[in-house]
Chain A
Amino acid sequence: MWYLLRKLGLLLLTAWAAITLNFLLPRLMPGTPADAAIAKLAQNGPVDPATRAAIEAQLGVPTGDAWSQYVQYLGNVLHLDFGVSYTFFPQSVSSLIMNALPWTLVMVGLVTIVAFILGTLLGVLAAWKRGTWLDTPPTLGGTFTSAFPYFWTALLLVFFLGYELKWFPTSGAYGRESTPTMSLAFISDAIGHAWLPAITILITSLGGWILGMRNNMINTLGDDYVTFAEANGLHSRTVAVKYAARNAILPNLTGFGLALGGVVGGSLLVEQVFNYPGVGYLLFNAVTNQDFPLMQALFLMITISVLLANFLVDILYGLLDPRTRR
């Protein structure tokens, strides 16, 4: 319980720090993005004073003292009020993000979990059968594929499986003629479109999980409780799973939490290649169009999502390790 409270406190503190960082970033940068932003917005029509003030508050034009700006900003964030997008004027940043977020959460989230579980299993096998065909190919293969740039894997798959073999659709999250409803037809269309980006993320992230788990497992296999379990004549599968792997998974979970940020970053690149309408694609659009409110809010949402995922991992860790319950 104490463990949980501590992790919750840490989550809130980290989230606050991320929000504050997001507030400070534009203010630490040279020049005032607000001017550029307002100029850009003015192309769409006259900018009323309220909008101007909102933009300036967000982007750090020195109106009023920094403290009151900060307070106002915190209030906006709490209400999920990130202002208006320039690129997709007059849509609000929040609504844009809400449309994009589910695509990324479902596709990237599911694939990451699948990749982690699969990689962990392969890592366990590799360490248990060290030096055999269950070890060398996954280890070397994993080393190689985890060095692939995400976008390159994506480009190759688009080229070979999309254009050449035409097995999968290569762009978007659903066909042009579909409309997002909860119908079976739409869902199967969406799944069809999710294959290529999903395979990309799987190929590129799997190796890291294999290598990490293999290393941990090799370490626990040398521990005394494994030797003692063998001395007691336990079934070798019990020793491998309930003794060695069960302990090796703990540092692997911590590693999972840390590596999550990297996987999410990589998935953004993948979305860009596939024009997949998630947050990565939106972020890239925001950057090329210098849509600062959208960009900042997206960065914040991505960060908070990773923080929440880390928190879930911490809870899982707490459940798996009796030592945290004391």
Chain B
Amino acid sequence: MTLPAKLTEPTGSPSASVPGAGATAPAGPASPLRVLARVASTIWSNKKARIGVVLLSIFILMAIFAPLIAPYGASENGFGRNQGPSSAHWFGTTAAGEDVFSQVVFGARISVLVGFIAGFLSTLIAVVVGLSWGYIRGPLADVINFIVNLVLVIPGLPLMIVIAAYLQNGGMTMIIFVVVLTGWAYGARVLRSQTQSIRGRDFITAAQFSGDGAARIVFREILPNMTSLITGSFFGAATSAILAESGLSFLGIGDTTTVSWGSMLFWASNSNALLTGQWVLLFAPGLCIALLATSLTLINFGVDGLSNPRLREGSGR
């Protein structure tokens, strides 16, 4: 994760870039929209990231249109118990007589929602902490450093489990809360080191000389230069949020009546789906979690290439 944001090459070093290649970027003002468009097009140009985007879109569509796609309701339980796959129930039924396929479809809602909300909140904290931590100097920076390192080394899942145990049945809000509480630190660290490197550049000193205040410098000069890292942090945080949510739900922490891929596996393993041989019931929810998380990681391959040209495809030896 070392990210030397070499924005320019003072003297042409042939191994790094074509002299003057920077001048081929699109013209026009640097509105946030344009920056995002650049991010999107770079991501799309990476084959792996493109697969990720397609996969993610499928899951998002599945979550949005769940009631249209699923043949039954998520908790509709009037069907035969522990049935194998059939034409009426593609993935079979659960021990409580619910339709597995419908549950898988509805489960996408929880994972996508938790992923996006927790990912967004973690990234928000990471941005605020990372940028101010990178910009300030002195003892306060050391204190933040210590706190971030503490949050980083404390094993996240046990902490979440303990907090969740104290909070008792807080449901999805509680899960998002604990996931965010432990998930922001990594992004903050990455963003901080990049902030420090940008802070050392002359245009920051120049902005100070132009009379700009600290807040404006952080948000107008530094922040826009970190779009790719922030995007990366978001997908990273969302991935771990999705995995953490599934883990907590699998342990039965939180609201077990909510239909999520994690809680499906909780019920499956508690009702001994292993013994009844319902491998689809075991296989499908976990595969969905894995595919959703993979899609985000794949997108991050493209995002990595944004800030580190060496990681771009085709720049191999």
Chain A residues in the interface with B (C-beta under 8 A):
13-14, 17-18, 21, 25-26, 29-31, 33, 130-131, 140, 143-144, 146-153, 155-156, 158-160, 163, 215-216, 218-219, 221-222, 227, 251, 255, 257-258, 260-262, 264-266, 268-269, 272-273, 283-284, 287-288, 290, 292, 295-296, 298-299, 302-303, 306-307, 310
Tell whether, in the assembled complex, residue A151 and residue B265 are in contact, meaning their CB atoms are under 8 Å apart.
yes
Q: How many residues of B contact A (CB 8 A)?
A: 60
Tell whether, in the assembled complex, residue B155 and residue A302 are in contact, meaning their CB atoms are under 8 Å apart.
yes
**Chain B 127-157 interface 0/1 with A at a Cβ cutoff of 8 Å (1 = within):** 0000000000000000000100110111111
Q: A25-B166, A258-B186, A303-B155 are in contact. Are A287 and B290 (CB under 8 A)?
A: no
Tell whether, in the assembled complex, residue A295 and residue B165 are in contact, meaning their CB atoms are under 8 Å apart.
yes
Q: How far is the CA of A21 from the CA of B158 in the complex (A)?
A: 13
Tell whether, in the assembled complex, residue B250 and residue A149 are in contact, meaning their CB atoms are under 8 Å apart.
yes
How far apart are A101's CB and chain B's nearest CB, in angstroms? 14
Measured CB to CB, the nearest residue on chain A to B3 is A219
Shortest beta-carbon contacts, A-B, top 8: A265-B157, A152-B286, A147-B293, A261-B155, A130-B316, A29-B166, A147-B294, A287-B165
How far apart are A240's CB and chain B's nearest CB, in angstroms? 11
Q: How far is the CA of A87 from the CA of B256 in the complex (A)?
A: 23
Q: A159-B274, A251-B1 are in contact. Are A269 and B265 (CB under 8 A)?
A: no
Q: A143-B298, A268-B158, A299-B158 are in contact. Are A287 and B253 (CB under 8 A)?
A: yes
Kindly list chain A residues whose C-beta atoms are within 8 Å of the C-beta of B48.
140, 143
Kindly list chain B residues whose C-beta atoms are within 8 Å of the C-beta of A219.
2, 308, 310-311
Tell whether, in the assembled complex, residue B290 and residue A144 are in contact, meaning their CB atoms are under 8 Å apart.
yes
Tell whether, in the assembled complex, residue A152 and residue B289 are in contact, meaning their CB atoms are under 8 Å apart.
yes
Tell whether, in the assembled complex, residue B15 and residue A303 are in contact, meaning their CB atoms are under 8 Å apart.
no
Kindly list chain A residues whose C-beta atoms are within 8 Å of the C-beta of B253.
287
Which of B16, B163, B297 has the most CB atoms of chain A within a 10 A radius of its CB? B297
Kindly list chain B residues whose C-beta atoms are within 8 Å of the C-beta of A284.
161, 251
| Residue in B153, B282, B293, B308 whose beta carbon sits within 8 Å of that of A310 in the complex | B153
Tell whether, in the assembled complex, residue A17 and residue B150 are in contact, meaning their CB atoms are under 8 Å apart.
yes
Q: How far is the CA of A284 from the CA of B253 in the complex (A)?
A: 10
Q: How far is the CA of A272 from the CA of B159 in the complex (A)?
A: 16
Tell whether, in the assembled complex, residue B247 and residue A298 are in contact, meaning their CB atoms are under 8 Å apart.
no
Measured CB to CB, the nearest residue on chain A to B247 is A269
Tell whether, in the assembled complex, residue B155 and residue A14 are in contact, meaning their CB atoms are under 8 Å apart.
no
Tell whether, in the assembled complex, residue B297 and residue A306 are in contact, meaning their CB atoms are under 8 Å apart.
no
| Residue in B154, B243, B275, B293 whose beta carbon sits within 8 Å of that of A18 in the complex | B154
Asked whether any CB of chain A lies closer than 8 Å to the CB of B162, the reply is yes
Kindly list chain B residues whose C-beta atoms are within 8 Å of the C-beta of A215.
1, 304, 311
Kindly list chain A residues whose C-beta atoms are within 8 Å of the C-beta of B156.
261-262, 265
| Residue in A158, A216, A221 whose beta carbon sits within 8 Å of that of B317 in the complex | A221
Tell whether, in the assembled complex, residue A272 and residue B251 are in contact, meaning their CB atoms are under 8 Å apart.
yes
Which of A153, A222, A255, A296 has the most CB atoms of chain B within a 10 A radius of its CB? A222
| 14 examples of A-B residue contacts, CB within 8 angstroms | A13-B146, A21-B150, A144-B294, A148-B286, A149-B246, A262-B240, A265-B156, A266-B157, A268-B161, A269-B250, A284-B251, A292-B165, A303-B155, A306-B153
Tell whether, in the assembled complex, residue B247 and residue A17 are in contact, meaning their CB atoms are under 8 Å apart.
no
Q: How far is the CA of A11 from the CA of B279 in the complex (A)?
A: 46
Measured CB to CB, the nearest residue on chain A to B157 is A265
Kindly list chain B residues whose C-beta atoms are within 8 Å of the C-beta of A156.
282-283, 286
Kindly list chain B residues whose C-beta atoms are within 8 Å of the C-beta of A30.
167
Kindly list chain B residues whose C-beta atoms are within 8 Å of the C-beta of A283.
158, 161
9 further A-B contacts with Cβ under 8 Å, apart from A130-B317, A150-B247, A266-B157, are A14-B153, A143-B301, A147-B292, A149-B250, A152-B289, A219-B311, A261-B153, A284-B161, A288-B252
**Chain B 184-222 interface 0/1 with A at a Cβ cutoff of 8 Å (1 = within):** 001000000000000000000000000000000000000
Kindly list chain B residues whose C-beta atoms are within 8 Å of the C-beta of A287.
161-162, 164-165, 251, 253
Measured CB to CB, the nearest residue on chain A to B298 is A143
Asked whether any CB of chain A lies closer than 8 Å to the CB of B269, the reply is yes
| Residue in B146, B149, B297, B311 whose beta carbon sits within 8 Å of that of A146 in the complex | B297
**Chain B 4-35 interface 0/1 with A at a Cβ cutoff of 8 Å (1 = within):** 00000000000110000000000000000000
Tell whether, in the assembled complex, residue B153 and residue A159 are in contact, meaning their CB atoms are under 8 Å apart.
no
Kindly list chain B residues whose C-beta atoms are within 8 Å of the C-beta of A306.
153-155
Measured CB to CB, the nearest residue on chain A to B160 is A265
How far apart are B158's CB and chain A's nearest CB, in angstroms? 5
Measured CB to CB, the nearest residue on chain B to A261 is B155
Kindly list chain A residues whose C-beta atoms are within 8 Å of the C-beta of B311.
215, 218-219
How far apart are A23's CB and chain B's nearest CB, in angstroms? 13
Tell whether, in the assembled complex, residue A131 and residue B286 are in contact, meaning their CB atoms are under 8 Å apart.
no
Q: A149-B243, A159-B279 are in contact. Are A303 and B158 (CB under 8 A)?
A: yes
How far apart are A24's CB and chain B's nearest CB, in angstroms? 12
Tell whether, in the assembled complex, residue B274 and residue A155 are in contact, meaning their CB atoms are under 8 Å apart.
yes
Asked whether any CB of chain A lies closer than 8 Å to the CB of B102, the reply is no
Kindly list chain B residues whose C-beta atoms are within 8 Å of the C-beta of A163.
274-275
Q: How far is the CA of A307 from the CA of B149 in the complex (A)?
A: 11
